[in-house]
Structure 1
Amino acid sequence: MAAGGLCSAAAAARAVSRGWRGAATLAVHPAAGLADEAVETRALGLSPRQAVTLRALATAELGGSLFASCAHYEADAGGRLELARAAALGGDFRGLEPMGLFWSLAPAALEPPYRRLVPRGLRPLCVDLLLHDGHSPAGALPGPLLARARLERCFTAPGVRRVRLKEGRVRGSLFLPAGDGPFPGVIDMFGDEGGLTEYRASLLANRGFAALSLPYFDFEDLPRVMKDLNFQYFEEAVRFLQHHPKVKGPGIGVIGTGKGAELAFSMITYLPEVVAAVCISGCSFHTVTDLHYGEKTLPALRFDMSKVIVSENGVFDIFEALDDPRDPANSHCCIPIEKAEGHFLLVVGEADRNWKSSLYAELAIERLRHHGKDNFTLLSYPGAGHQIDPPSTPFCLVAIDRVLRVPVLGGGESRAHAYAQEDSWWKIQKFLRLHLG
């Protein structure tokens, strides 16, 4: 925990001795569970109808920033509080939201804003839950501490193996489930943040997939910036995974977010080995950087920075900045997805402000239907923003862009976004299992 967090914890510990009001206890189950699993939280030993505040505290692995959330509750007539049954009465969310304290985690007071609590490594995320007497108004010191509990949100299950890759040009991490296999194979990619992001691949391995987390720039000896990508790199990754002895085959799947989703569109279109593509907040046009494939250069839509809107508090809204794919002059940037023999799952947040995910999904479906194809499923979520991650990943309306190094509006509303993450995660796995045999 950051220094400020340790001070808060010490103060809370002192409050236990000063403010103890009986034998209140706070229990969480599982105390150490997978990060995509729900947590049961209950408090016992409270007074009948006692007003309490629950707080969650977590520290980012990268940078050590403290994240916090809180919600107000009332115990039942027996002095018991179960988050699976009790609605939050205020705080960072309202209503029956048993995992609300997790998806509403945000930078704590005095911490730099616009940070996302996303693991860059695979250490468990430790979360402290603190139960306070009374309803603490926003910005006020919480009431006396009645009980506390610590839990771990783990990204790898026992028996899952991580193999760091340096195979030809391919870099990344291959996660293999426990057991002999073979397992359905999936390549996992993210967007223009670059580097190696492993948490989704590791969670997929927990669920029985051989998952390759595939970086494509800003990692080891890969290009430092995302510029003029070489498609042979992705082709080599597909063939490596397809021929791995632990992978079931013959076809493999890909899952990507943002730029990663666009690459998933390309891979299922140009590579017959790819039979299923999950495209989260993606565009079926080449964007930002050209894609080289042998002697061909596949041109990309560009961002027009003159169309970026900057708010008074310095937040960049880039929603209108990408060239319009509907303009006939940009038709040469289109990925011919109608040539794909595999199946698409399009996952869209309708309140995405990073770019026009809903429009891009409509254009992809329109193109497929125009060519007599029905090999697609659309999951479209009202109120969800751009970065649709596994369940209970904290919502972030505005995040620092790693390339632009400025805060960029991602869009969405926290509760609706949390629902999209929970609902889509299990449907993504069902889709992959169906089409990967």
Structure 2
Amino acid sequence: MLSLLHRTLSRAPRYSRAMTGVSLHVSPGCCLFDDPLRLQVRGLSPGQDVSLRTALSDEAGELFTSVGRYRADSSGELELSRSPALEGGSYTGVEPEGPLWSLEPRTPLRRLLKKDVQSPYQLCFSLYQAHDPPGALLAAAAQERRFMGEGVTRVPLREGRLRGSLFLPPGPGPFPGVIEVQGTGGGLLDYKASLLANRGFATLALAYYNYEDLPKGMKEFHLEYFEEAVNYMLQHPQVKGPGVGLLGHSKGGDLVLSMASFLKGIAATVVVNGSVANVVAVLHYKDITLLPIAADMKKIKQSQPGVFDISDVLCNPLEEANRKSLIPVGRADCKFLFIVAGDDRNWKSDFYAQTACQLLAEEGKEKPEVVLYPRAGHYIEPPHFPLCKASVHKLAGHVVTWGGETKAHALAQVDSWQRTQAFFHKHLNQRKVMESKL
């Protein structure tokens, strides 16, 4: 009974009513991080100007904030789903999730990440009188945004050489299985995997370097390690076969392309701003070696004082001198979805996706699905993560721009997240998985 009461209260709207009689409602009081935001204000004077401040502190104590400027309607009410934000704030127009995706860090060059998915983020909403400067506090409310929903389990993976986190949805299963591979940051980031598990996928966030007893650097990788992960998932009683899905971003994108090209048991692969060439580290598989694509550091450009653009640094993998880095995507027999940012300033994601299409066409394979978001940047995340405009690139050693326009990037994240889930649901229930040519 107490458990039922707790669940009921956690889903109820959270609100506060100040001495002024103004009430601020946020619903539900507890939800998943990628859920929509519903916020309403009651008790204002008709046409009253107010400022809505949203605040979130990350695990390191960094404060992210946004401000929306609003004017109450003739009934003295505001509702983010229909009330437009006015000029001068962090966002404008009717933007129900604007308070979330427009969050900016107090300290420059910080990116919002979630390292402990078992603890939620607490969002604080404060409503103030007037715009510039804001006046007295009228009302406040809080919302808890979780990465693991009710019934989702997280299993730390230490099976043989494998390291990572396996997330299982609630219920008896089995479930469609996905392996998620992150970029060059190293360690273990499993927030995407946890969010996918909430949507019905048994998801393995696979660490591959700089985590526990894994290699500390990015000198060379062996695809046999990733093959172990595929076999682990296919043999797991809670994973529905006969194939698994792959999700990779940035460096993780070229790794999942290599997995799809060489390994058995892959049914569907989603590449988010990935490279069609092997990047940074030598990749081995049996008697095959893919060299890292060459880079011309002279092509680094300064986009603004102290911030660099590295998008032209990598050489063309189609040129003869660089063919040994080109991933033989034409060997793959799975379905592909390429998520591409048109303003990716890390590298030429659009060119790489089109090259992958060409390589598959040359082998008579089905044309992949390619979705281009013209004004999105490199870090396409799940919904509501704010745009990271620039930060220190771990390998380049510079502050680099990642590209993207705030609102367009936010819309790309919502759409691509929905497409990714629909793609996996569609293709991970197939009855036949083609074997690789090895």
TM-score scaled by length of structure 2: 0.91
1:129 alignment partner in structure 2: 125
Give the share of equivalent positions with the same residue, in percent. 45
1:192 has 2:184 as partner: yes
TM-aligned CA distance change 1:104 to 1:405, over 3 Å: farther
Q: Which amino acid aligns with 1:184?
A: P
2:382 alignment partner in structure 1: 390
Match 1:412 to one of 398, 404, 413: 404
- Give the unaligned 5+ runs of structure 1: 1-15
C-alpha separation between the residues in 1 aligned to 2:148 and 2:403? 30
C-alpha separation between the residues in 2 aligned to 1:325 and 1:218? 27
1:94-145 deviations in Å (ceiling 9; x for gaps): 111110110111112xxx2110111111121111011111113xxxx53211
Secondary structure of the residue aligned to 1:172 is strand
- Runs of 4+ deviating beyond 6 Å: none
1:4 alignment partner in structure 2: none
1:120 has 2:120 as partner: no
CA contact (8 A) 1:342 1:375 kept: no
Matches within 5 A, 1:30-429: 30-61=28-59, 63-90=60-87, 91-108=89-106, 112-122=107-117, 123-136=119-132, 141-429=133-421
C-alpha separation between the residues in 2 aligned to 1:127 and 1:239? 40
Secondary structure of the residue aligned to 1:248 is strand
TM-aligned CA distance change 1:78 to 1:215, over 3 Å: same
C-alpha separation between the residues in 2 aligned to 1:131 and 1:400? 34
Cα offset for 1:375? Answer: 4.3
Cα offset for 1:79? Answer: 0.3
CA contact (8 A) 2:318 2:326 kept: no
1:325-352 deviations in Å (ceiling 9; x for gaps): 2323212211111111111000001011
2:13 alignment partner in structure 1: none
Cα offset for 1:381? Answer: 0.6
- Give the unaligned 5+ runs of structure 2: 1-15, 430-438
Cα offset for 1:52? Answer: 0.9
**Most deviating of 265-274 and 311-320:** 311-320
Q: Which amino acid aligns with 1:52?
A: V
C-alpha separation between the residues in 1 aligned to 2:241 and 2:412? 30
1:7 alignment partner in structure 2: none
1:231-259 deviations in Å (ceiling 9; x for gaps): 11101111011101110111000001001
2:436 alignment partner in structure 1: none
TM-aligned CA distance change 1:405 to 1:129, over 3 Å: farther
C-alpha separation between the residues in 1 aligned to 2:40 and 2:175? 37
C-alpha separation between the residues in 1 aligned to 2:158 and 2:367? 34
CA contact (8 A) 1:176 1:209 kept: yes
1:142-161 deviations in Å (ceiling 9; x for gaps): 32111111111100011111
Cα offset for 1:305? Answer: 2.1
Count of equivalent residues: 412
